[in-house]
Structure 1
Amino acid sequence: MSAAMLSAPVSLSVAHAETLDVTAVAGHPPVFLWVKTMSESFIPAVNAALEGTDTSIDWTEAYGGTLAKVGGELEAMEDGLAQVGIVASLFEPSLLSFQNVTYVTPFGPTDVNLVLNTVDQMTDDIPAMRKLWEDLDLEYLGGGFGLEDYLMMTSFPVTSMADLKGRKINAPGPAVNWLDGTGAVGVAGDLTTYYNDIKTGVADGVIVFPTAAAAAKLFEVAPYVTRVHFGAQYAGGIVAKKSWFDEQSPEVQAAFRTGADAFAKDYAAGLEGRVTGAFAAMTEGGATITELSDEARLEWANALPNLTQNWADALEAKGLPANEVVNTYVRHIQEAGVTLPRDWSVK
């Protein structure tokens, strides 16, 4: 009798033990820091947080196009093919419009941590920002990932805005707007096309972030590196399929948030080292690296159309509080000590 009683708690524990099958998705391969950090920081942190509970996770890591192409992660989660993933708001300017606020406020902070922390805080403070995720059946866990201070690489030297007149410059979707009013011609492209576009004369240069530029060896075709300081950009974060997440125990939900916090910390630490290495690689590859003067940056910023006002007006017309999003972002970064060459606040 006593033996049976002693064994009862063990049997009860076994009966309630659960192993969750969870698929984590990212379109980029692990060579990209945000995917590497998801695999090496987020997942181990979730596992560690669940130690001692009755739940464990059997992970399937689907990266590099094995489940979804770049920009297709949202659809994969929507279809129930993955329960957690990295969704790049950068590729969803309509569905996740507010998360792209940094792309309509160029020449902002160069500090990636400041940008990520600000957008994460705004997601907590402005219900409409979180609602954009939830409307897609996604639970934003945090763990924002960002792209370091954008610069320009060209086949010709750039010391002023006048040097851009008539030049064709590659840029990722939302960054094309940073060329409006400069005399340059924006040419849409991505990391898979930049090198050949410049080499073949389709473009004379590119707006890009340093780690990607070094990895793609763009300095071979665009050896003039101009640190324009367009600013660091928020690019997305770790999300879970909300309808699935809501069904999980409080312990599992807390573990996923702990994992997102670990991701954010390790991503920031890893990015700093990679940026330093990127500039070293460009220098060793023969690149000429210069700083755009404050005067030239001011001229450039003031030559642009009112990007934020135009963006906010279009969203406000749809009943979305874009003015609040823009002005909150600008206020946060100014309070953090950032001096903008142009005040992007809207009315």
Structure 2
Amino acid sequence: MKPAKPLMMESMLKHMVELTGHRDHNLLDVSVITALHELVGASQARVLEMFKVRGEDMVRPRVWIKGGKVMSLDEGLAPDQGGEAMALYPALVDCIARQLRSAEEIDVNGSHVLWVPLWQNDTATAAMQICSDTPFASNTLDVMEGILSVYRNYQNLLDYSERDSLTGLLNRKTFDEKFSKMVSYNAQPETQLPDTDAEGRRQVAEIRSQWLAVVDIDHFKRVNDQFGHLYGDEVLILVANVLRSSFRAQDRVFRFGGEEFVVLLRSSSLDDARKAFERFRSNIEAHNFPQVGTVTVSVGFVNINGETPVVILGHADQALYYGKTHGRNQVCYYDELVSNGLLHSEVANDSVEFFFDDLAES
């Protein structure tokens, strides 16, 4: 690597300190984009997240530079159907298919573009797009690779701290942080939200069509008592795998603890939300669990409205409790139960009580 000028070295060290001080994926994205824009003179830099819509690979920016300012799309506001087909970026598609660390191209506008996939194990979950009006010099690429190496390492460390060690799903601590942030944003009056144009109002409408479901494995205590905890752990792992395959990449699935899971379903109508949770319940019932055989789950879900996180989670728990005590292996919607007189609307003040924990066996 060619010697860096003292000013560049000082700036690089400043950015390295900032990168290593973050404990949040979004802030880490902002820091790396800022560093690359400043240090290598990028004309454009974006972090693109990847997801699927009806089986098609899509990308959309989650952090980008606009008019010299770093912009960030809050997770709660990201529209499910937004973005572009990844096929529009063949160099990125080829880079991922060949599992390369990076790829360079010259786009139709004559800009020099560097693609850097962000790998999680063997899967690319996001990519960086860095554009320059001039070719990337070798020393510039060296500087970029140094910054990106630190960025990748800290992304992996953050991801490790956010996940449950047994199932690999997001953990309870991560749920508390993300859910509180989502509810706080959702509770703001529309006049206080950014982007009050038509697109902004559409995004606000989408965040206010979010759903939370609490999932519990039926008769899980019997599994542990009859087959032992090793098979119990295998059931948890397999249920987690079915959860992953049953929901979209932009939805969030958490292991809440024990045999309990939570799903945050984003930007869906009530009908679509019910269908998604029913599909998951059916997938579990149809799945063959080695040695154990058939396993079922109960699901209670609720709309994420203007209530506090404790109340929203408590309502989902009440719907789940109703399903657990009325036959199990079913999906129950809190508002529907209340409107039909099957549940009374009760608000907890300080904490959420998971009523099914008091059952003799779940």
The two structures share one fold, judged by TM-score above 0.5: no
